[in-house]
């Protein structure tokens, strides 16, 4: 699909999500281009809310639009978080972390009474694992951690910046992007095995978290499931 059509679909999903935001709420802001469509629509809506952000980019966009962004370390619970996804299956299992913010995104999602996922229709897959799985890894001992990760049977590589240097997350860690030769039958087992490896902070798998998914289409229509 053409880039401009995908952008229209993302905008439709982002705008739709604003209807679930009420004055007085604390809103978790996800990261990525679709989450940014939501943030822009939230700014335009003039809702009186406070926010917490999963990345510097999302915090900066919200602040520029006049939204008060709270320090996450002063906020024990969040009313609602709106975030994007890289892939989502019919059971709402997801892969996130294309932008490298999935650890913070998962912390916000799990502190929230509700998580709304906003995606364009190209993100819908029958089974997750067609794209890479980002795994956040501590720099300390990372060669040993990588060897254990790859012993689970799946290869990958460290994520790099465009200039070839190592990509470092906002938490100061590396990202290992794991590839699957075909979508795994039981991604939950892979997630559990990876979480047991010392040095692994978290994976980009999200299970049982999305209460509502808003799917945007290039014609501006949306579907909620
Ligand atoms: C960032 C994420 C994003 O939500 C995900 O990559 C989707 O991004 P986009 O809306 O730009 O396609 O998980 O860590």
Test site for ligand 1: of 5, 40, 86, most ligand atoms within 8 A of the Cβ: 86
* Partner residues linked to 114 by β-bridges: 80
pLDDT above 80 (res 25): yes
Residues designated as active site: 105
State the pLDDT at residue 120: 97
> By C-alpha distance, which of 126, 128, 132, 113 is closest to 212?
113
Q: State the burial class of residue 124 (Cβ atoms within 10 Å of its Cβ: 0-12, 13-18, 19+).
A: middle
* Partner residues linked to 116 by β-bridges: 82, 212
Q: How far is the CA of 113 from the centre of ligand 1 (A)?
A: 21
Q: How far is the CA of 85 from the centre of ligand 1 (A)?
A: 5
Read off the pLDDT of residues 27-75 as tens digits, 9 standing for 90 and up: 999 999 999 999 999 999 999 999 999 999 999 999 999 999 999 999 9
Note whether 179 and 80 are within 8 A (CB): no
State the pLDDT at residue 216: 98
Q: Pairing mode, if any, of strands 133-137 and 200-203?
A: antiparallel
Which residue minimizes the CA distance to atom 8 of ligand 1?
32
Test site for ligand 1: of 31, 39, 132, most ligand atoms within 8 A of the Cβ: 31
Note whether 14 and 222 are within 8 A (CB): no
pTM for the structure as a whole: 0.96
* Domains of the chain as residue ranges with CATH: 2-125+207-224 (3.40.50.1360), 133-202 (3.30.70.260)
């Amino acid at each position: 699909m053409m880039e401009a059509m995908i952008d229209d679909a993302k905008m439709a999903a982002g705008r739709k999500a604003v209807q679930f935001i009420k004055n007085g709420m604390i809103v978790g802001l996800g990261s990525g281009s679709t989450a940014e469509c939501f943030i822009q629509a939230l700014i335009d809506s003039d809702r009186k809310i406070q926010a917490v952000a999963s990345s510097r980019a999302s915090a900066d966009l919200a602040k520029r639009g006049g939204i008060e962004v709270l320090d996450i370390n002063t906020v024990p619970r969040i009313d609602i978080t709106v975030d994007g996804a890289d892939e989502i299956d019919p059971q709402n299992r997801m892969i996130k972390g294309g932008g490298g913010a999935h650890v913070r995104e998962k912390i916000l999602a799990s502190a929230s009474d509700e998580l709304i996922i906003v995606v364009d229709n190209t993100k819908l897959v029958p089974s997750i694992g067609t794209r890479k799985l980002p795994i956040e890894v501590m720099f300390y001992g990372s060669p040993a951690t990588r060897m254990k990760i790859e012993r689970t049977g799946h290869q990958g590589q460290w994520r790099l910046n465009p200039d070839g240097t190592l990509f470092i997350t906002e938490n100061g860690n590396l990202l290992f992007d794991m590839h699957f030769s075909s979508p795994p039958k039981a991604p939950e087992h892979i997630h559990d095995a990876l979480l047991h490896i010392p040095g692994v902070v978290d994976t980009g798998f999200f299970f049982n978290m999305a209460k509502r998914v808003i799917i945007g289409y290039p014609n501006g229509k949306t579907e909620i499931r």
